[in-house]
Amino acid sequence: MTLLPRSLTIVAFGVALLCGAAHAADVRERLSFDAGWRFAKGDPGGSTAPDATAQPGFDDAAWRKLDLPHDWGVEGPFKQEYPGETGKLPWWGVGWYRKHFTLPAGDAGRRVYLDIDGAMSHAKVWVNGQYVGGWPYGYASWRVDLTPFAKPGSDNVVAIRLDNPEKSSRWYPGGGIYRHVWLVKTAPVHVAQYGTFVTTPQVSKAQATVSVQTTVESNGRAAQVQVATEIYTLDAAGKRGAAPVARQAATKVTKVESDRQAQLTQTLTVPQPKLWSIASPQRYVAVTTVTENGQVTDVVETPFGIRSAVFDAKNGFLLNGQRVPLNGVCMHHDLGALGSAINERALERQLQLLREMGTNAIRTSHNPPAPELLHLADRMGFVVLDEAFDMWHEKKTPNDYHTSFDEWHEKDLRAQIRRDRNHPSVIAWSTGNEIPEQGKPEGWKLAAHLAEIARGEDRTRPVTSAYNHTDSGYNGFQNVVDIFGYNYKPGEYGKMHASAPYLPIYGSETASTISSRGEYFFPVSDDKSKGAANFQVSSYDLTAPPWATSPDVEFKGQDDNPFVAGEFVWTGFDYLGEPTPYNDDTTNLLNFTDPAQQARAAQELATLKKIAMPSRSSYFGIIDLAGFKKDRFYLYQARWRPELPMAHLLPHWNWPERVGQVTPVHLYTSGDEAELFLNGKSLGRKKRGPRDYRLRWDDVTYQPGTLKAVVYRKGKRWAEDTVATTGKPAKLLVSADRAQVRADGKDLSFVTVTIADKDGRPVPRTHDRITFKLSGPGEIVATDNGDATDLEAFQSPQRKAYNGLALAIVKTKAGEAGKLTLTASADGLEGAQVTLDSQAQ
């Protein structure tokens, strides 16, 4: 038994402990606190007296009514003069949120907490006019204790002020309380927030040892407590099994001093465990019951997984003893047209598309993720590199996290790890990304300090960081991390391994290839600096910024060095901000150590500053901002799903201006040989070489008609793909990703509109303006097209198609079931509609 100081409970974390058994509602409640807020931008009460706005009697009747999560920045408007680096949206500034709520009189004597999963940023909280606390880091999950000031049996007012500084981010951060908020009520004697830590120190097919460490807190008096634990299986929907698979009776009685904490540990054995894996993400739940003098005071549930995860210097990443290449992507936190406001269905859709490509790993670049991402990863079978910071002491932008680092880095890192350490999906803690301290002689000491904080909270997972300076792996940093991540250094893998053969290595950030969906520029060049024009980038997937490479170069680096554990591609999806190479705030271009690269970047920056840049989102994604697949999707699918028969030809075959001109053809395929035909005539059969990741016919002369690839594997027919010259655009095709949705006010259906010819074939070079209308109990919350230069408001019900596609996002209304009909129309084209079934829960 270990006594902990009461001060530790001030470090508050998001919510991972769920309400337990049915009778636990009497002792613990976790209630959504998202509904019924009022919002105002700026300081209505006066910037010099913010306390006035926090007072219960402040008149907020004219404020806007809304529900959380909320991102004020994505509401726009886009403005050309806003920085492209952060999405040309107004995310900065002060914002206030106020909520009136009533606590039942029966809550007298209970503890009442407000848990905030994420608020951007520098949050301060008042209840009934009294300041109760706050948290500066916009990506952190945290808690404030309302108990001393809350009034059971009467009206209460919570007021939250956010202050998002300008020039505090390198990408679009969003603004507002953009993640969920919860009201948590407990007895005075209860499990502290994130007070259970479940580990599986011994795992085999025959049995697993499960250790459950529980931190119990007693407020206002000393208590004599006991803890008992049961373990159940969890199905895919999160439903508990009927009977426990393991049970540990109550511990001996332990005294918890007033306003202190005590840790109690139990060890259980699970026979013939079902191991959590990417292919079969089986989960369990530990049900912890706290009693005082035989009276139940708290019950919590902690989902977890039984698995072993090891990084090995020779064999890469091993999950349950089997090598699993990390087919990973980096992901920023925004959800495209929805901004940074978390929506679980939108996040699930992203993961489903990534899984189709073959992705099995996510890096949360460059901050702690929303809790929902980890819940989905646990359930769907993704492993996660959980990252904390984009910078430490040294700044990247004038008002970024470096201003809070000294005071808050330890609180933030401990909060993140305690929040996330029970997730089986989390396989490593990353303490930083491309931190400038890499170039400082004493920088490794700070890296070591952060690593020890992480290990102090969790010794079951390795600590890493993402390094982009070539010498980082040779100047001391390699000795303070457990696994070494290189950004854009496939040529360094072998050298690094030779210098530190004991150290596991992986590509923490790779490729950064840039492209625009459906754009192809000629002539086609292997020079990565070519292929950008008219604020778009060619989709031949050969273009990259100075620091980056095509996917093929990274693939070769890994294949030549099989000890590399895998990669995290920059990025899975396009995201708001950082529209390299059309970034009008391109300080990142100067982040080089090589003088030649610095000179070239400086020249690029000088050129860019003379141009008015329209771009508001990135070109890095394998999937565009609307969720439409770029050609690169299939290049990665061919590598990451080698047993899937697939073939993908590019470019499209609508080029009337190129008749008689050379138009190179590339093929992405999981086969090893292919023959290309144009209008039935063979253009040659090609075999894949040992380091060939695409098949190329670089001398094809364009003629309208049909281009077809027939693919073979081991001499047998494997797959085929066809692209053809289409007719003129004639009609719209509409399809929804889900025809049945939940009438809960949160569920979404993503509806794709395709411009097609009379035969229903997509016409790729079309940009018609589409109008969306919805009837029934729902609303169109956003539209998009994946075009990084489109500055029309996301909330607009009209959207120009981009290269033949557009998207409408439909949200249900809470408690209103019925049919939703979305109609799409465009001048001169036959319209279309789709009907959705919104079902009561």
Other CB atoms within 10 Å distance of the CB of residue 397: 20
| Long-range Cβ pairs for the range 271-275 (8 Å, 24+) | 271/206, 271/207, 271/245, 271/246, 272/205, 272/206, 272/207, 273/203, 273/205, 273/207, 273/208, 273/306, 274/233, 274/306, 275/203, 275/205, 275/305, 275/306, 275/307, 275/320
Long-range contacts of 453-459 (CB under 8 A, 24+ apart): 453/410, 453/413, 453/414, 454/413, 454/417, 454/429, 456/414, 457/413, 457/414, 457/417, 457/418, 457/421, 458/197, 458/417, 458/421, 458/429
CA distance 324 to 319: 6
| E strand residue ranges, 72-188 | 93-102, 111-116, 123-127, 130-135, 142-145, 155-164, 181-186
Residue in the structure block whose two tokens are 């087919």? 327
Give the separation between CA 278 and CA 265, rounded to whole angstroms: 29
Whether 434 is catalytic is yes
* Residue pair 739/778 in contact by the 8 Å Cβ criterion: no
Angle (nearest 5°) at CA 101 between 99 and 102: 165
What 3-state DSSP class applies to 734?
Answer: strand
Q: Residue 526's Cα: distance from chain center in Å?
A: 32
Q: What is the Cα–Cα distance from 27 to 186, expressed in whole angstroms?
A: 6
Peptide bond into 656 cis (omega under 30): no
> 729 with 769: CB under 8 angstroms?
no
Three-class HEC string of 453-486: HHHHHCCCCCEEEEECCHHHHHCCHHHCCCCEEE
Q: What is the Cα–Cα distance from 511 to 526, expressed in whole angstroms?
A: 15
Residues 6+ apart with CB under 8 A from 800: 767, 768, 769, 770, 785, 787, 790, 792, 806
- Classify residue 253 by its DSSP letter: P
Rounded Cα–Cα distance for residues 415 and 39 (Å): 28
Which burial class, exposed, middle or buried, applies to 525 when counting CB atoms under 10 A from its CB (0-12, 13-18, 19+)? middle
In one letter, which amino acid is 626?
A
- Residue 147 three-state SS: coil
Is residue 366 reached through a cis peptide bond, with omega within 30 degrees of 0 on the bond before it?
A: yes
Handedness of CA 178, 179, 180, 182 (dihedral sign): negative
- Which amino acid is it at 145? D
Which position among 372, 492, 509, 567 bears the catalytic label? 509
Catalytic site residue from 85, 387, 434, 720: 434
**CB distance 539 to 651 below 8 Å:** yes
Q: Could you give phi then psi for residue 184, rounded to 5 degrees?
A: -115, 130
Does residue 830 carry a catalytic annotation? no
Q: How far apart are CA 97 and CA 95, in angstroms?
A: 7
Active site residues: 434, 509
